[in-house]
Structure 1
């Protein structure tokens, strides 16, 4: 039996000459496909030796070769449809860049640029100059610097300003961000000596004042943007900390994390500290580019010139610098802030967060009506809740509408898996044995993609 199975294995040349494998060669290249075919044949021989009695048909091997080549040759990082309703979904790439910046981005990405070339002076320029004016204008800061993320920004600030000096921070603000990165560790890695004050739930101004000594280098305030403390809790306002720090000739550093540039309270969201307001009191502020700002991943340092200019000459800045793609996306996004009347329309993050219930309801009804045209689907729409995500507006949810789908052909978990593992990948929710699509994070194009994928699935198995 074993010899018969070995004899039944298609020859290498037979597999390479099959139409499907030839197509793979045209798409992915001969070398990758040949190595994959060899690997599949070796695997089959090992399985037969181990006693596997599955018949190695040409069709079966070609299918395995196609799957293996796609896994090796296709992009690992790819487009995903976000139907979760989490606007700044860290696992799905956080902020969606504005379509309005696409042309500018492509021109710089696929050609040469004046990244570090001063066209007017015909000499070497500074890459940070491209975003400097806009950030100063929008935040009101004397000077700014962009690095690769906010954790890097905090580290650079501390490395520059408080080497081997104490940094006073409230115990209630010793936050942990994604992937177990913690503020205390960032402080010590940045060269500072951590000095905790107050209690977990309450810190008073006098706690900071009593902790100040001749070895104090700075006061640090950390905005708890990824959690909210309620009940018997109290923290010190930035204005009060500023007054205390400056009375002792110390700088105040404020890590704002998510970094909000426009007030969203008129749209029903709770108050969050605004960069421009916090800079009235703090000497240096740091925040992210890919959260509420709605741009690419970046850490933005804004503040007084005497401090920020020192950071520009810190050797660590070279290791933390951003490339032309980040700077292009950030500058183009910042340009959108120059037109406040169209800001919510042009910045997807802000548009999704501020959508009205009426807009969401209309979207859900339209989407539901189109899904009802597909066979075997039971579809409805219900009220639900979305999250801003990305460590922004913690503990606050946004009212939304969910389109729910069930079918006798699949369980909710199997339908979710089929969509998530398909192309394009569609990430949705499963609750109460229903597949749920939150329309807050869906575009018209996303709707079309979901409808097409569901049509393929129910048509195939109907």
Structure 2
């Protein structure tokens, strides 16, 4: 480019910069002055500076002519108002899960039931008896609000009193915390025997070997990735052994030439050796998933009935409750954990107890269809097909092509890694936009819709969308 061309370009740019108003001039615009009547001065000032800075950046990049810059300057009050509105929005927002993954970790896992939400509001809006015994007027344990419910759900409350009193429950903020707390309380500076095939990593970089190290326990691996025998555990037990550990293979499966001791065999070994068996069960599944056509997923009830000394599980997975970690086991082990100062750092608040208490009561009532996870697991593919057809029949769009297609849903959340559920989805294709752009457009809706892409089409799996949202979904899709 010639020197005189560069000079001309620089002069043009400088001229455009001179057209930009100062921050004070912007604030004196009548529309901006009215914003000062509705919003704090600091918020308006910050939004105005951001809008001006964006305009300067666009000008520097050569994106403006003299006429387009004048139009943008005239629109500054509107841009500032938009920035103020965006700044007042919540960052944490409800979304529509159309992925077909029931326990979607990135989307908050299990939705709470209406009963759980009501109880949370009741407890949140005023004081409550979180650590207060209404009978004696003395301080009490916060776990008492759910301990008997957990034990009832596992059948311990129906056992003879002497047997039922041998178990206890602790609630912490998630299952990883429960595992960490149990290992630190029961096996600090002691060996923990675990199969190499169970040294798992789950989402967020949670690795069993690293958790063991942080807890102060000493990892002692036995067996191989695919084959671990009971004899491997037996030969590894020594004076320094503090715990036997069983870990749920939450997000993968090992098939083929494999071997693994049964839980019953490990329980018997634990009793013979006088060393506690701790199981990171993880899923929160109270009873079998076979009623939904899913087999092979171990349940919390099976672990408890087999006599495992201590079990850690999640509240926000197949239990269908709030995020929390549940430790249930022998009272002597629970008492040792209660004495650990870390418990106070990992405990949960009144809102979690409220949601968990309500969820457990719904399980005990055996009317579990009120729990969203249970409803989503149990919905029939033919009902989903009917809903898909009804929704697409209501959509009016000249840009989108709709189809109804069979798909497979997932349980998700580190549970039932091999299981799929027959489902049905609405397939979207745009006349000119690629699927990724359609997906982005769905995320910009209110509420945002989160789908997935397959074969360059966007799929909206209705298994994870409540039926009461169908009419609004049709309306939102028509607006694209």
Q: TM-score, normalised by structure 1?
A: 0.92
Aligned residue among 355, 358, 375 for 2:382 = 358
Contiguous gaps of at least 5 residues in structure 1: 458-462
Q: How does 1:229-248 map to 2 (within 5 A)?
A: 229-248=254-273
Aligned residue among 401, 413, 416 for 1:378 = 401
SS at match of 1:338: helix
d(CA) in 2 for partners of 1:83 and 1:25? 41
Aligned residue among 217, 220, 235 for 2:245 = 220
Shift of 1:161: 0.9
Tell me if the contact between 1:159 and 1:191 (Cα under 8 Å) persists in the aligned partners: yes
Residues 59 and 108 (structure 1), Cα distance of their counterparts in 2 relative to 1, 3 Å cut: farther
Greater CA drift, 440-449 or 318-327: 440-449
Aligned residue among 421, 427, 430 for 2:444 = 421
Shift of 1:114: 1.5
Confirm or deny that 1:289 pairs with 2:299.
no
Aligned residue among 32, 56, 72 for 2:43 = 32
Shift of 1:112: 1.8
Find the counterpart in structure 2 of residue 102 from structure 1. 117
Residues 218 and 11 (structure 1), Cα distance of their counterparts in 2 relative to 1, 3 Å cut: closer
SS at match of 2:210: helix
d(CA) in 2 for partners of 1:382 and 1:205? 47
Shift of 1:291: 0.4
Q: TM-score, normalised by structure 2?
A: 0.89
SS at match of 1:230: coil
Find the counterpart in structure 1 of residue 357 from structure 2. 331
SS at match of 1:404: strand
d(CA) in 1 for partners of 2:338 and 2:30? 59
d(CA) in 1 for partners of 2:33 and 2:441? 25
Residues 25 and 39 (structure 1), Cα distance of their counterparts in 2 relative to 1, 3 Å cut: farther
Shift of 1:328: 1.1
Contiguous gaps of at least 5 residues in structure 2: 1-11, 157-166
Tell me if the contact between 2:116 and 2:356 (Cα under 8 Å) persists in the aligned partners: no
Q: How does 1:170-181 map to 2 (within 5 A)?
A: 170-181=195-206
Tell me if the contact between 1:242 and 1:282 (Cα under 8 Å) persists in the aligned partners: yes
d(CA) in 1 for partners of 2:37 and 2:62? 32
Confirm or deny that 1:272 pairs with 2:272.
no
Tell me if the contact between 2:381 and 2:423 (Cα under 8 Å) persists in the aligned partners: yes
Aligned residue among 17, 21, 26 for 1:9 = 21
Shift of 1:102: 2.2
Find the counterpart in structure 2 of residue 460 from structure 1. none
Shift of 1:275: 1.2
Q: What is the root-mean-square deviation of aligned Cα atoms in Å?
A: 2.2
Greater CA drift, 131-140 or 441-450: 441-450
SS at match of 2:411: strand
Residues 25 and 93 (structure 1), Cα distance of their counterparts in 2 relative to 1, 3 Å cut: farther
Find the counterpart in structure 1 of residue 148 from structure 2. 133
Find the counterpart in structure 2 of residue 316 from structure 1. 342
Residues 318 and 409 (structure 1), Cα distance of their counterparts in 2 relative to 1, 3 Å cut: same
Shift of 1:108: 1.4
In the TM superposition, what whole-angstrom CA distance separates every residue of 1:30-72 from its partner, at most 9, and x where no partner exists? 4312221123224545665776645143444234324433443
Tell me if the contact between 1:173 and 1:221 (Cα under 8 Å) persists in the aligned partners: yes
SS at match of 2:192: strand
SS at match of 1:124: coil
Number of corresponding residues: 453
Tell me if the contact between 2:337 and 2:343 (Cα under 8 Å) persists in the aligned partners: yes
